[in-house]
Amino acid sequence: MKKIFSLISIVALLPAIMFAQSVGIGTATPNASAQLDVSSTSKGLLAPRMTQAQRNAILSPAPGLLVYQTDLVAGYYYYKDQFGGWQQITTGTIPNSLWNTLGITNNIYNAGLGNVGIGMLPPSNYRLSVAGDLSVTGNPPTLHLGGATGATYARIILAVPNAPEYKITNALDKLFISRSTGPAGYVNDFVINDVGNIGISNSYPDTKLHITDGTDVGNASGGYLQLGPTNGRNIGFDDNEIQARLNGVVSRLVLQNGGGALQIGSAGTPAGYAVSINGKVICEELKIQGSSSWPDYVFADNYILKPLPELKDFIRQNRHLPDIPPASEIEKNGIEVGDMQKRLMKKIEELTLYILTQEEKIKNIQAEMETIKRKVK
């Protein structure tokens, strides 16, 4: 009876002894760092074997739980945690495994269809997601985005919260930089085609720089293109106008198309004029074309030349020549160069007629004087 009681006591104390010390199977000296030390040279340790469906059906698996999966991508799997889930234990080249090394180069590749996250859980729609900075080194450092067979484009998407999303795409022999416009899609802000033409807001640039969108150019700002700082000297362009601006206040040069005008140092061009210049102009030659009614009619036989006494009376009363505007009118309205040239030519031709008439009278007087002299002798 005492022997039975002693045996029962030992069995009852065995769990306490096992928890307090390492347990050895196949060895009398288990390693002190192991709770269970299994030693054998002819047998192994067999983990629970199950299919992937059975593995996934385990309720609340503990981190570190180990099983052997028998179907699909077979192998040892351990449960990492609620974020990492089940992970396969692989080394070297293992057929059908997710991660493999290739030959002696130690190149690592993923043969599965899953997504990879570094520092984060991988989103379902991206194969590789990185939380943090991505560094590329080499000589030269190269990041290669190559499409699979049959792919028509490659792209990089740049997105931050509460800001437009940008997309860099290589497609159709062009490089696009596109900006999201909301659920409706993207607009191509920048394009480089296969011959080096650059398009801004233009997907089909025909020249080395082709811009087809922007605001109307004004004295202060705006335009499709601006050269120079806004608060300094700059030139603004749109599809109908060029302005040379100073400090965003006054436009010193304005060139307009489609019925517009050229303004140089002027605040505006009066209606009916194509060019307005506030300042002096110097040139080697100025040609005025299309001037009609040139005053050669003065030399016609039926032209009536104003008698000199009448001309004298007109000048005495008006203080200017007939058909020539007075100084007050010129100061107010300026001079129409083409019209003034015709008026002045008319006066020159009339003056020529006066001179010829006076020359004829002088000759007549000289002839009469010679006749008188002969009679006196």
- Greater confidence (263 vs 52) lies with 52
DSSP state letter for 91: -
Taking alpha carbons only, the member of 221, 225, 226 closest to residue 213 is 225
Rounded average pLDDT over 130-135: 86
Question: For position 366, what pLDDT does the model report?
Answer: 92
Cα–Cα–Cα angle for 347, 352, 354, nearest 5°?
A: 95
Q: Lowest-confidence range among 127-131, 157-161, 269-273?
A: 269-273
Contact 11, 17 (CB under 8 A): no
Of how many residues is the chain composed?
A: 377
- Greater confidence (274 vs 294) lies with 294
In sequence order, what are the residues at sequence separation of 6 or more whose Cβ sits closer than 8 angstroms to the Cβ of residue 71?
51, 52
Q: CA–CA separation, 123 vs 121, rounded Å? A: 6
Q: What is the pTM of this model?
A: 0.48
Taking 80 as the threshold, does the pLDDT of residue 313 lie above it?
Answer: yes
Q: Which residue has the tokens 């802000």?
A: 189
pLDDT category, 153, cuts 50, 70, 90? confident
Q: What are phi and psi of 191, to 5 degrees?
A: -140, 135
Question: For position 199, what pLDDT does the model report?
Answer: 93
Question: For position 316, what pLDDT does the model report?
Answer: 95
Taking alpha carbons only, the member of 135, 116, 136, 118 closest to residue 126 is 116
In sequence order, what are the residues at sequence separation of 6 or more whose Cβ sits closer than 8 angstroms to the Cβ of residue 168?
155, 156, 157, 158, 175, 176, 177, 178
Q: Lowest-confidence range among 46-60, 115-129, 273-287?
A: 115-129
- Tens digits of residue pLDDT in 179-235: 988 877 888 899 999 999 999 989 899 999 999 988 888 777 788 898 888 888 888
Mean pLDDT score across all residues of the chain? 82
Strands 66-69 and 75-79: antiparallel
Question: For position 57, what pLDDT does the model report?
Answer: 94
Q: Which residue has the tokens 């060019």?
A: 275
- Tens digits of residue pLDDT in 85-97: 888 887 544 444 5
Question: For position 208, what pLDDT does the model report?
Answer: 94
